[in-house]
Each structure stands twice: as structure tokens, then as C-alpha cells.
Amino acid sequence: MATTYKELLARREQLEQQIASARANEVAAVISQIQDLMESYGLSIDDIAGKKRRGRPAGSAKPKAKTGDTLPPMYQDPKTGKTWSGRGRAPAWLGTNRARFLIS
């Protein structure tokens, strides 16, 4: 049962034609069924397609501040001279009594 390459290609073409016609028949039946269900339940295409998302569109947020814009320091460590602007994580040298490190 030796089959040649050309015979196999011919068989494949026949099978692809059968697949295409079977799919076309089934798709037509499925579309008809969907239309019947939509009609019986009173649905429209908008009901099936879904709703658009709420909120701002992507990329419409306010631009972030430039990295060069720094805040003036509010606290300073008298021993090392290090400063902190009051934003972000508090440094360890600040401790619990912030008033004594406040820059006047």
C-alpha cells in the first residue's frame, strides 16, 4: 500500500474541500439558531456585544511630576546634616519626636 506524494496531496485537497463545506453548513445552522434565540428572548446585538468599560481611557491620566522638582526639606538631622522633605518613608534618625528636627 505504497502511496505517492502526489496521491497524498490530492487526498488532502479533497479533505480540505469537505472540511470547508461541512463548516459552511454548520455555521449556517448555528447562525440560524442564534438568531432564533435572540428573537425569542428579545435580545439585540448590543446586548450580546457587551458594554464598554467605564472610567478614563488609557493614557489620559495627568502627567507625573518631573523628577527634578524637589520639595524643600522640612526636617534636618543636626549630627549628619541629612534632610527629609516630609514625603515618603520617614528616615530612621527622625524617631518619634519630629518636632526637634523641624527646620524653622
At 37-59, the pLDDT tens digits run 999 999 988 888 866 667 777 77
- In a domain, residue 63? The reply is no
- In a domain, residue 56? The reply is no
Most confident option among 11-20, 38-47, 54-63, 87-96: 11-20
**Same structural domain, 42 and 9:** yes
Q: Is the pLDDT of residue 18 over 70?
A: yes
The total number of structural domains that make up the chain: 2
* pLDDT value at residue 68: 62
Give the three cell numbers for residue 64: 507625573
- In a domain, residue 40? The reply is yes
Question: Cell 541629612 appears where?
Answer: 82
Counting residues of the chain whose pLDDT is more than 70, the rounded percentage is 86
- In a domain, residue 86? The reply is yes
User: How many CB atoms within 10 Å of residue 75?
Assistant: 19
pTM of this structure: 0.40
Q: Is the pLDDT of residue 91 over 70?
A: yes
- In a domain, residue 76? The reply is yes
DSSP 8-state code for residue 58: T
Range of the domain at 33: 5-49
* pLDDT value at residue 95: 87
| 44 within 8 A of 34, measured Cβ to Cβ | no
* pLDDT value at residue 76: 92
* CB burial string 1-39: b at 16+ within 10 A, e below: eeeeeeeeeeeeeeeeeeeeeeeeeeeeeeeeeeeeeee
| 83 within 8 A of 72, measured Cβ to Cβ | no
